[in-house]
Copies of this chain bind each other. A is one copy, B any other.
Amino acid sequence: MAKINSFHIILSLLIIFASALPSLASHGSNSSSSSKWSPRFLGKFSHLTKPQLRQPEIRYETRYFDQRLDHFGFSELPRFSQRYLISTEHWVGPQRSGPIFLYCGNEGDIAWFAANTGFVWEIAPQFGAMVLFPEHRYYGESIPYGSRDEAYRNATTLSFLTAEQALADFAVLITELKRNLSAEGCPVVLFGGSYGGMLAAWMRLKYPHIAIGALASSAPILQFEDIVPPETFYDLVSNGFKRESTSCFNTIKESWDVLVSKSKENDGLLQLTKTFRLCQALKSVGDLIDWLESAYSFLAMVNYPYPSNFMMPLPAHPIREVCRRIVGSPAGASILDQIFEGVSVYYNYTGKSECFQLDDDPHGMDGWNWQACTEMVMPMASSQDASMFPRFDFNLSSFQEDCWKEFGVKPRARWITTEFGGHDIEATLKTFGSNIIFSNGQLDPWSGGSVLRNISESIVALVTEEGAHHIDLRASTKGDPKWLVEQRATEIKLIEGWIDNYHQEKKGNFAL
């Protein structure tokens, strides 16, 4: 069934991902305004560079699978081509029931996720596993309606960009692929980070007949409705700064009012443009606030203990470095100079940027914003005390209005919890379901919306104090701390257990 247009590539991809993530955020000109859009897993302002890929070598074929646009309806619709990356290099094949490792592609180019999920590639050989990275519909090359412009035209064409459809894509793809390979007896293990981790967990829950288990890394499946307080995310970001330096936290917290005051001076916006070396003249202080907020949020997500290049080239412990620069600014530096010094760690660690673009493509439509405006309504707020960000509340009505203006769609704030659950998750899953690892690092601001306690013997939480956003899924490095090495070893052991149990069940059924 798979239309095979394959070619080998050694990953050295031109990542066009960043330009696909335009800014839709806006701020009012005072510090009590609320952020129009939720924080994102993958950010605007994250100018993705070529991934650093040294080890392990990642080799795969790129193939395309003919998918139906609407799995849940039967009206005539055009089909689309779903890209997937596949490696059978280490697969021991159907005779030996070689497992299939499937990464649940999330909101971006799948090649980029493949490049940033070294863990799966590293462990595939020891499991004799096939590796599959199917792309999420409406992202990367897996675009319906022939072109991105057509696919993103309006609510009717975007209507099929949902998590449920994406899960069904994975289900259909893997079922057909296994059939074609006579590999029906090969167990599938799911992997996913961030939104991809949510998909992995949900897929294990909704399609247990298709996958025997899921490693859901940094998967905030509880960041919906009223399950966790809306302040959780920004409080955790703030904690990441406070733990490095209270002074750093306080400087950032104070900076917003200074920014707003400055913006109201004569030539204030021009002065801010200069202080922050913006390429274009600043039109509203809100744009600058967004730019800074994004940097702090992403810094918290990628606050890895070694130099990394996940979204931007960054030093080890990047928040530590940001705070070092903020706090250690020369005597006499203004608070805004301090902030600029700090944020430059994020936006300009290589020192190559001469000026900064606040907004790449203010009018482009963006897949994640559509998803946030439909299903993925994650309430966000910033608290008075624990947060270093401007205070704001979550306002569903105004969020809905914004979505209506932007996409002609009304968010369904309660749909995800209706479809996938979340409330009382421990009571629900204690005696239902099995084989899910929820891994989280407490430095990651998304950890607050994830599962942080063991639910049952086989639905477990691996929580690391020093971990950031799905660090466990990244390729191992020489600089890996001991806890990370141990975390990955635990994950491997659990996955081995799932596969062993699967084979034992199979044997047991044959024996009957």
Residues on A close to B: CB < 8 A?
70-76, 155-156, 158-160, 162, 164-165, 168, 171-172, 175, 184, 205-210, 374, 408-409, 414-415, 417-435, 458, 501-502, 505-506, 509
Q: Chain B contacts of A206 at CB under 8 A?
A: 206
Can you name 20 A-B pairs with beta carbons within 8 Å?
A70-B73, A73-B73, A73-B160, A74-B162, A74-B374, A75-B156, A168-B418, A171-B418, A171-B419, A172-B418, A207-B421, A208-B429, A209-B420, A210-B421, A424-B509, A427-B502, A431-B434, A431-B501, A432-B433, A432-B434
The 9 A-B pairs at the shortest CB distance, nearest first, are namely: A209-B421, A75-B159, A73-B159, A72-B72, A208-B432, A75-B156, A209-B428, A427-B505, A74-B159
Whether B73 lies near A162 (C-beta < 8 A) is yes
Whether A209 lies near B74 (C-beta < 8 A) is no
In whole angstroms, how far apart are the Cα atoms of A159 and B422 in the complex? 29
Q: Chain B contacts of A501 at CB under 8 A?
A: 431
Closest-by-CB residue of B relative to A374 is B74
Kindly provide the distance from the CB of A266 to the nearest chain B CB, expressed in whole angstroms.
Answer: 47
Q: Apart from A70-B159, A73-B160, A210-B418, list 15 A-B contacts with CB within 8 A.
A: A74-B158, A75-B159, A76-B156, A171-B418, A207-B419, A208-B421, A208-B428, A209-B420, A209-B422, A209-B424, A209-B428, A427-B506, A431-B458, A432-B434, A433-B433
Closest-by-CB residue of B relative to A457 is B431
Whether A75 lies near B208 (C-beta < 8 A) is no
In whole angstroms, how far apart are the Cα atoms of A158 and B73 in the complex? 9
In whole angstroms, how far apart are the Cα atoms of A420 and B168 in the complex? 11
Q: Chain B contacts of A208 at CB under 8 A?
A: 205, 421, 428-429, 432-433
Kindly provide the distance from the CB of A206 to the nearest chain B CB, expressed in whole angstroms.
Answer: 6
Closest-by-CB residue of B relative to A185 is B424
Q: Chain B contacts of A409 at CB under 8 A?
A: 74
Q: Chain B contacts of A421 at CB under 8 A?
A: 207-210
Closest-by-CB residue of B relative to A375 is B74
Q: Which of B415, B423, B435, B458 contacts A209 (CB 8 A)?
A: B423
Kindly provide the distance from the CB of A171 to the nearest chain B CB, expressed in whole angstroms.
Answer: 5
In whole angstroms, how far apart are the Cα atoms of A408 and B431 in the complex? 43
Kindly provide the distance from the CB of A433 to the nearest chain B CB, expressed in whole angstroms.
Answer: 6
Closest-by-CB residue of B relative to A410 is B74
Q: Chain B contacts of A172 at CB under 8 A?
A: 418
Kindly provide the distance from the CB of A466 to the nearest chain B CB, expressed in whole angstroms.
Answer: 26
